[in-house]
Structure 1
């Protein structure tokens, strides 16, 4: 069991190049703000982990664990590592940190997710992000790889079950509305018209195939950090601050599965399965099983909506709706604030933003905020148990965590 002491998230509307700063600067800003939020000192941290996908392609920068040493002299000598699993990089970094704590190697870990993506033109950004597809083998004819991939998923759902585009548009509308309540959301100040969430080719133009502008997660600069502790170190932290150990949230369950990098191979392998991506379901189910909770005990979900179809799929694979019936949870309001199981009260990747390597850490930080009642205007009342679902590539890597008060 691992405790979460707290953390911090950057403003996802920030454009770092426009501000004249680089990843190293924001790395330091984020760590310093996280230390301040948790009342920790650099000397308290035993190990550091970074989630990042394509620092080399966007910023010409790798070896990001070395940035810790730039933050404070006390981090000189800190054992660090960088983790890459496309959009699931942040969650994989968390898993690595929890494994170290559970093995007894260290007692307090700093996990930071970071990605700079707004410093290049949109088409170049799309090409960079295409590194998570099977390069040279799939989607070579697409202008935008990932909108094309999830357009293909929409087609696959249509073949298996039928799908109504109005339900995808409603997912987008909900997530953008949620983002307006999040002070760190990239889209919080954006304006929309009634036509924005329709098939209007001006207000909501086609990007690739069946994916329109509002169906897409955002290209975002962002960073998020959390601090994790062993039970012994968490008890010490609580005692020093005069708070109850039980007031600190815990990561009580985890699921981690991978599938072949080929989108087509995954879909062909599941042709006779009720679920398009069985490994996604497996990871989600295993996280709850390890936590000892059922879906009925989960108060809300922070899930991977890189596209509206991804959320549509995830609603079913998490068990919120039966296979082919995600539309029911959309129509009856189950996934909305105040619904049976609110989805992405933060706004998710569509409303809040998607700095790829930071997303898994941001999801976990939002889970921490929800179960400690500190999520502000997007707080889900009475939240005690949150499940995350973070996906890399075309569900090539899936990580799910359960965070409980």
Structure 2
């Protein structure tokens, strides 16, 4: 099967935008992605489009994919919608990769969007809750913060982790987000701020929870046969993996790991021919602070129970051995559900092509993105590789 390359990626700022529509946001992200293509691209080049969205609030429930792609001139391009809760954007990219690898398309637009801040808190909780186990979680009053609080309590009990360990996630990601002009919560916080913030669902405080956000993100992918027409920066989608798990937390074997993420990561590493030790950075799904700790272990960064140590010793800081969530993550950058997974690819593209500004890491080659739906019912992992040019390595990339 053919190799697939990320030739352009862009996003809107994530935040609260009461005067903007979902079509307007998608159009901005699409233009940003096109602007990032070295040699340019237009609608006539695109063979297919995939759009991820939950459809929060009930806007354009049917044909929501074509509703946004027609707005950017892709009305003659086949378009489908992906809904996998918070992993919708990541699965949109996976579907684009599959379309290119299969030979059905050479150039595919994969994007995602969500408008979440124009609803009341009660209605927003309803729409978020439908991505959990409907009968035994949402209809009995459990929110996602409550579900992740159960995961946090189980983890803290099993591994003797502390509230300070959860809070270090917030401190790190807010510091990273403060350098990201697209971040929703672009301010720093102290360990004391995070520990002493109001409780949302014990043991999770306000600073352990990501915001609900508006925004859109778009990635443009091309086959190995045509990539040279569009870019000089060879960012290869080296490996993709996905997994699914029981939707309800009570139905699972463990509260301290997400098997869908474990399967997705193992598959992505195998297909990319790498191990976690080869990674230079990662964007992981930190909808709640406990989710980042669990991700470290599910993705093979450390053994079970060892995740707090990576935070304590600075391993996942920007100057550490494995920087995590240089964008600010969901915690600081924001979480417009359908755009989140594709937005992770935007950060990876910018890091691997040297376009990350104040967040730029030194000469990264491999990056990983990890996007989870619900409390772990679906997960998708992408491993991306910057292929070195001949003038950098002495041999053709």
| TM-score normalized by the length of structure 1 | 0.90
Q: Which position in structure 2 is the counterpart of 1:49?
A: 50
* Equivalent position of 1:288 in the other structure: 269
Quick check: 1:249 aligned with 2:235?
A: yes
- Structure 1 residues 64 and 336, CA, compared in 2 at 3 Å: closer, same or farther? same
Indicate conservation of the 8 Å contact 2:11/2:28, yes or no.
Answer: no
Q: Could you list the per-position Cα deviations for residues 96-125 of structure 1 after superposition, in whole angstroms to 9, with x for gaps in the alignment?
A: 111111111111001111011010122321
Name the residue aligned to 1:216: 209
The answer on whether the counterparts of 1:59 and 1:116 sit within 8 Å (CA) in structure 2 is no
Question: Helix, strand or coil for the counterpart of 2:130?
Answer: helix
Distance 1:312 1:158 in 2: 11
Q: Give the aligned partner of residue 40 of structure 1.
A: 41
Q: Per the alignment, in what secondary structure is the counterpart of residue 87 of structure 1?
A: coil
Whether the aligned pair in 2 keeps the contact of 1:58 and 1:125 (CA below 8 Å) is no
Gaps of 5+ in 1: none
Residues 30 and 72, structure 2, Cα contact 8 Å, conserved in 1: no
1:330-376 Cα shifts (integer Å, max 9, x gaps): 11111111111011010000011011111110111111111111111
Partner residue, 1:167: 165
Query: Is it true that 1:127 corresponds to 2:126 in the alignment?
Result: yes
Deviates more, 1:29-38 or 1:120-129: 29-38
* TM superposition shift of 1:68: 4.5
Alpha-carbon distance in structure 1 between the residues aligned to 2:287 and 2:12: 19
State which of 233, 237, 243 in structure 1 corresponds to 2:230.
Answer: 237
Equivalent positions of 1:183-332 (< 5 A) are: 183-188=181-186, 190=187, 192=189, 195-198=192-195, 200=196, 204-238=197-231, 243=232, 247-266=233-252, 269-270=253-254, 276-332=257-313
Distance 1:140 1:377, change over 3 A: same
Match of 2:320 among 339, 349, 353: 339
| C-alpha spacing 1:149/1:305, structure 2 compared with 1 (3 Å) | same
C-alpha deviations, 1:301-333, integer Å up to 9, x for none? 100000000001111111222101111111111
> 8 Å contact 2:130–2:138 — kept in the other structure?
no
Distance 1:12 1:69 in 2: 20
Q: Deviations over 1:126-152 (max 9, x none)?
A: 22100101112125444x611100000
Q: How far apart are residue 30 of structure 1 and its match? A: 2.2
CA contact (8 A) 2:235 2:385 kept: yes
Q: Are 1:28 and 1:70, in contact at CA under 8 Å, matched by a contact in 2?
A: no
C-alpha distance in structure 1 between counterparts of 2:35 and 2:120, whole Å: 35
Matched, 1:5 2:4: no
The CA deviation at 1:63 is 1.5
1:140 to 1:163, Cα distance in 2 relative to 1, 3 A = farther
Which stretches in structure 2 are left out of the alignment for 5+ residues? 387-397
Distance 2:23 2:234 in 1: 30
Report the 3-state secondary structure (helix = DSSP H, G, I; strand = E; otherwise coil) of the residue aligned with 1:390.
Answer: strand
The one-character-per-residue Cα deviations of 1:264-298 (angstroms, maximum 9, x if unpaired) are 111xx248xxx632332121122111100111110
Question: How far, CA to CA, are the matches of 2:151 and 2:161 in structure 1?
Answer: 11
Q: Does the 8 Å CA contact 2:164/2:191 hold for their aligned counterparts?
A: no
Q: Distance in 2 between matches of 1:279 and 1:372?
A: 30
1:151 aligned partner: 149
> What displacement does 1:59 show?
3.1
Cα displacement (A) at 1:64: 1.6
